[in-house]
Structure 1
Amino acid sequence: MMSILKLPRGRELDLSQPHIMAVLNVTPDSFSDGGSHTSYDSAVNKALELLNHGASIIDIGGESTRPGAPDVTLEDELNRVIPVIKALRGQSDCVISIDTSKAIVMKKAVEAGADIINDVRALQEPNALKTAAGLNVPICLMHMQGQPRTMQNSPQYDNLISDINDFFAQRIDACEKLGIDKKQIILDPGFGFGKTLAHNYEILNKIDAFKTLGCEVLAGLSRKSMIGNLLNRDTNERLAGSLAGALIAAQKGAKIIRVHDVAQTSDVLTVWQACEKGLDNKGNLNVG
């Protein structure tokens, strides 16, 4: 299966090969890089740096969804993300993703220049589905059991992969009923969002199972507790584990890899692609 996402202004994103989605949190309380990029200039400069290091997509978020995270007001979220999107769009034609669950933020973000909606709540918040359908941009639907404040309180499943796929099937159906093209939907199984350590590694091992629904898959496990708890590593010591997870996800068919450490992930994926596709006489990756 090969997918091409249709982006605003006649642009496309070819998912025949994996793309790196760089995390750009403009929140004071993100689990990994909170507060690092909360000024507009700092955020835009960081985004341009991440693009230079190999990112294809900049995922801008103004609401932390770490376990136990408090809610963020609409006004605060808009004030955090919209100026950054506008400023980045003014300097780059890169692919911008808005990481939000709020309908108004989705609308304002796309109007400001965002290309993709990345929703951890899978368009289940008030007016989110209707709003997203009207914006005509690609949508990433994530699976989460519970809500950020409670999602890690003893998550349980009858059959992990089947239960997640059932959820995705229902959300895809809801999207299609409002006119969202299935080819414009990306699925994220939601590492760490209502999953035990064992659940997370079963998902990683079987991530290709989510492609049976006919959509491409996003994997976001960078620096998460599934790495830290397995290896007994603090957040700033999880690079090697994150790179291993990114490579495994890509090898198993994930076409968007959401990460913090862009340059290192790009190196890993480039080495893998060189083995898979070979190099031409000039040392460049073969196309196709």
Structure 2
Amino acid sequence: MNERTIGRRRFDFDRQVAVMAVVNRTPDSFYDRGATFALDRAVDAALAAAERGADWVDIGGVPFGQGPHVSVAEEIDRIVPVVEAITQASDVVVSVDTNRALVAQAAIKAGAAVINDTSGLGDPDMADVISRSDAHLVITHSVGPPRVEKPAAYFADVVQDVRSFLEERVERAEAAGIPRSRIIIDPGHDLDKNTRHSLELTRHLDELSVLGLPILAAVSNKDFIGESIDREQGHRLAGSIAAMAVCIERGARIVRMHDVEAAVDAVRMVEAILGMRQPARLDHNTHPTRNV
């Protein structure tokens, strides 16, 4: 679990937390409302995130929530050129947020090192596609297919239900030939869950560590933050940083964040507090006392 080569970068999750930036090549993303839909803007945003310290860039072509149908061909057309451009210009890890095996296959061929599957292997062909590559797989908890209206969220015990789901999907991935050394898990904050569910998952995130796999926390600007502190979209940075810090303290080692600069600073501080890294410098009160 602790040391992994992902793409062209090496991570030691005993000593560091990876910051994953978000770039949505969609006209209807919940956060940026299409600001990076144009190809050049998506590529520029990804490379700028890497310059600001992001270890990882997650590219999305279709939002998880309800919206108009996007064909497989259109999703591939949105994703592949961005992946190709980023991997040619930078060694930053590139993941692709998709739940379709054909899109994953095209993305891996273009250079993606990770498939971030928010459906948790909902596509029966996804595990086979990943197993025939060197790519990592993020298995995320959600309920049913994305992009459709669903009933109100209900769990008898959300932590236990999420853990059981992830255990079963990890077993399915391993049976398909994906080694555990290439699997990451994500409890899926807000995905088919209400605010109380997401808060409960955050409080008990450490209970997922029994699976022995790196945990990804995708909390940035989610509705559970907005509802918890009564802030509309665009005013949730402080809440996002707080939720991220708690997730790291409880075991998350990859955090998916929109505001890269603030997230990187906060992550470095949390790492220092937890003893995962040394301070960047030691100047304060380090000079010997002088006798006057």
Global fold match (TM > 0.5): yes
Q: Which residue of 2 aligns with 1:172?
A: 170
Q: Does 1:101 align with 2:99?
A: yes
Look up the equivalent residue of 1:172 and give its one-letter code: V
Q: Which residue of 2 aligns with 1:6?
A: 5
2:267 aligned residue (266, 269, 275): 269
| Residue 183 of structure 1, CA deviation | 2.1
Structure 2 vs 1, CA of residues 130 and 108 (structure 1 numbering), >3 Å: closer, same or farther?
same
Letter in 1 for 2:134: N
Q: 1:86 aligns with which of 77, 84, 87?
A: 84
Q: How far apart are 1:19 and its partner, in Å?
A: 0.8
Equivalences for 1:1-288 in 2 at 5 Å? 2-8=1-7, 11-16=9-14, 17-66=16-65, 68-150=66-148, 153-277=151-275, 279=278, 282-283=281-282
Residue 8 of structure 1: how far off its partner (Å) = 4.6
Residues of 2 paired with 1:138 and 1:3: CA distance?
14
Is the contact between residue 117 and residue 138 of structure 2 (CA under 8 Å) also seen in structure 1?
A: yes
Give RMSD over aligned pairs.
1.8
Contact 1:152 1:196 in 2 (8 A): no
Percent same amino acid at aligned positions?
33
Give how far 1:255 is off.
Answer: 0.3
Opposite residue 247 of structure 1, the aligned amino acid is A
Residues 55-93 of structure 1, C-alpha deviations (whole Å, 9 max, x = no match): 100000101113x23332111101111001111111111
Q: Greater helix share, 1 or 2?
A: 1
On the 8 A contact 1:152/1:193 being kept in 2, the answer is: no
| Change in CA separation of 1:276 and 1:13 when aligned onto 2, cut-off 3 Å | closer
Aligned letter for 1:59?
D
Distance in 2, matches of 1:279 and 1:149, equals 44
Q: Find the residue that maps to 1:109 and give its secondary structure.
A: helix
- Whole-angstrom CA distance in 2 between matches of 1:281 and 1:218: 25
- Pairwise CA distance, 1:198: 0.7
Q: What one-letter code is carried by the residue in structure 1 that aligns with 2:59? A: I
Structure 1, gaps ≥5 residues long: none
Runs of 4+ aligned structure 1 residues displaced above 4 Å come to 149-152
Shift of 1:237: 0.5
Shift of 1:186: 0.7
Q: Distance in 2 between matches of 1:169 and 1:3?
A: 19
SS in 1 for 2:207: helix
How far apart in 2 are the matches of 1:177 and 1:231?
Answer: 42
Shift of 1:149: 4.2
Code of the aligned partner of 2:140: M
> What is the SS of the residue equivalent to 2:274?
helix
The SS at the match of 1:255 is strand
SS of the residue 2:252 aligns to: coil
CA distance in 2, matches of 1:193, 1:246: 17
TM-fit CA distance, 1:276: 2.9
Shift of 1:152: 5.7
Tell me the SS of whatever aligns to 2:144.
Answer: coil
SS of the equivalent of 1:235 reads: coil
For residues 152-180 of structure 1, the C-alpha deviation after alignment (integer angstroms, 9 at most, x for no partner) is 63111122111111111111111111111
**Which stretches in structure 2 are left out of the alignment for 5+ residues?**
284-292
Q: Structure 1 residues 275 and 82 mapped into 2: Cα distance closer, same or farther (>3 Å)?
A: same
Distance 1:281 1:94 in 2: 22
Equivalent-residue separation in structure 1 for 2:147 and 2:271 (angstroms): 39
Distance 1:201 1:151, change over 3 A: farther
CA shift, 1:147, in A, is 3.2
Give the counterpart letter for 1:128 in structure 2. Answer: M
- Report deviation, 1:281: 8.2
Number of residue pairs matched by the alignment: 281
CA apart distance, 1:188: 0.5
CA distance in 2, matches of 1:280, 1:158: 43
